[in-house]
Amino acid sequence: MEKIFRTQVFGKATGRANNYRIPSVVTTKHGTIVACADERFFSAADFPNRIDKVVRRSEDNGRTWQAQIAAVEEVGESKNHGSLAIDPSLLYDEEQDKIYMLWSHTPTNIGIINAKRGTGYDKEGNKIVTVSGKRGYADKSGGIFVGGKKTSYTVDEKGDVFEGGKKIGNMFIKNCPVCEYETFFLYICESTDDGRTWSKPVCLNEQVKAPWMSFLGTCPGIGIKIKKGKYAGRLVFPVYYNSMGMFLFPILSLSACVIYSDDNGKSWKMGASPNDGRKKHGIKLSSRFVADWNNITESQVIELPDGSLRMFMRNHSLKRLVAMAESTDGGETWHNYRHNEFLPQPICQVSVLNAEYGGKEVTLVCNAADKQRRVNGLVRLSYDYGETFVASMPVKEAGEDNGFVYSCMTQAKNGDIVLLYEGSTMHETIESIVFPISVLEEYKNGKA
């Protein structure tokens, strides 16, 4: 169909690696489309690996893309000696004309199944490290201490470790005598020039990560700024974390929530999860002790007309349907948890976007619309903010491989939808389709 434009945004031809995952994309008030992804150097896996954050920009509504830049660079020369900047989420604040990028960092070989509990900082705000196997800390000036005594080591902002002024390694890599605490660190940075350059990353762990959490991750996709109601101006990013654990797989007992800022990103707080207080079989749940079969993980949030929020959640229920919940306090608490019978999912990420069409606000939902496999990517059109759908369009053309994994959408300045997606479980490229919302009208009830 000529109305749909297709191109590749990330892949071996655009960058330095063979694998690209986790698209995130926003549009600025200047009409620039900014896309971000994981550049995964040694395999498609989450870990062990080295993963950087890479960005491309489009100034023609997603038709062409400028050269790829590395917004966040990690370290490592091999699969088992690399650090991670994993799973991006972008948020554009039009009033500030600023793009926020949120992601998680871990040192070598640390992932969701083996991370340690804690923020990675002590009570004085010093970064916890190990020095030749002994617990120590790095103070804010970069001095390294063990047992209260200063050592001959120092560390800089990039994690490079020095002794006597000579670089001897990097604290993110295990073969260095000074090593970072083995947990997840939530980081944020900003761009004030339409995604061309990015600020020094800031760690949010001390603000939002509870000491009992080991994993704290971004929810792939985008964050939003609330526009209406009591909480107008609040910045909201969906995240998820693991519990203290129960039953079969305590390290994989997961809950989603949001972190939010009321001061233009200067400080952040974490809200409660839809798992906090909801009842199942008459039992009130808690995200701190949730069982693994009550997992709610990678989520996305949209704003409703009254300023309340609706969350769409990947989950592990045997129903294999996208879960939903609402918040009337800006993401601080959630209620009305349920499953949407119109949104099948194979335990995979879902992307959601409010867009303008015909003078009204509509909602687009995209995911792998299958209960068993990551296939059959559909983008759906809703007039009631994702409760029901009037049309669903296949993302891929007939005859293409049917694989479909993660996705993200934005509305270009000309009104078109730019949808980035992973079209294969090989995770080698991130593709895009660009289309006017009117095309979806041709797929009423899923029929072209």
- Break the chain into its structural domains and give their ranges: 5-116+184-441, 121-180
Distance CA 336, CA 325 (A): 5
CB proximity list for 125: less than 8 A, separation 6 or greater? 140, 206
Q: Tokens standing for 16?
A: 């330095």
Alpha carbon distances (Å) from 328 to 226, 256, 267, 304: 12, 17, 21, 10
Q: What is the per-residue pLDDT for 422?
A: 98
**Torsion over CA: 181, 187, 189, 195 (sign):** positive
Question: The CATH number of 121-180 is which of 1.10.10.60, 3.40.50.2300, 2.40.220.10, 1.50.40.10?
Answer: 2.40.220.10
**pLDDT 10s digits, 243-285:** 876 545 555 789 999 999 999 999 999 999 999 999 888 889 8
Q: How far is CA 193 from the centre of its chain?
A: 22
β-pairing verdict for 321-327 and 335-344: antiparallel
**pLDDT 10s digits, 182-238:** 999 999 999 999 999 999 999 999 999 999 999 999 999 999 999 999 999 999 999
pTM score of the predicted model: 0.97
Q: How far is CA 249 from the centre of its chain?
A: 23
CATH of region 5-116+184-441: 2.120.10.10
What region, left, alpha or beta, does residue 423 occupy, with left being phi > 0 and alpha being psi -120 to 50 degrees?
Answer: alpha
Q: Which residues pair with 93 in a beta bridge?
A: 98
Q: Are 245 and 164 in contact (CB under 8 A)?
A: no
The parts of the chain modelled with pLDDT lower than 70 are 1-2, 245-251, 445-448
Distance CA 336, CA 414 (A): 36
**pLDDT 10s digits, 338-367:** 999 999 999 999 999 999 999 999 999 999
Q: What is the dihedral of CA 284, 288, 289, 292, to 10 degrees?
A: 100
Q: What is the per-residue pLDDT for 445?
A: 59
Q: What is the per-residue pLDDT for 249?
A: 53
Distance CA 163, CA 317 (A): 52
Q: What is the per-residue pLDDT for 198?
A: 99
Alpha helices in 226-375 (DSSP H): none
H/E run at residue 205: helix 205-208
**Angle made by CA atoms 246, 252, 254, in degrees to the nearest 5:** 85
Q: Residue 260: how many CA atoms within 13 Å on its side-chain side?
A: 22
Q: What is the per-residue pLDDT for 448?
A: 43
With tokens 């260095």, the residue in question is 176
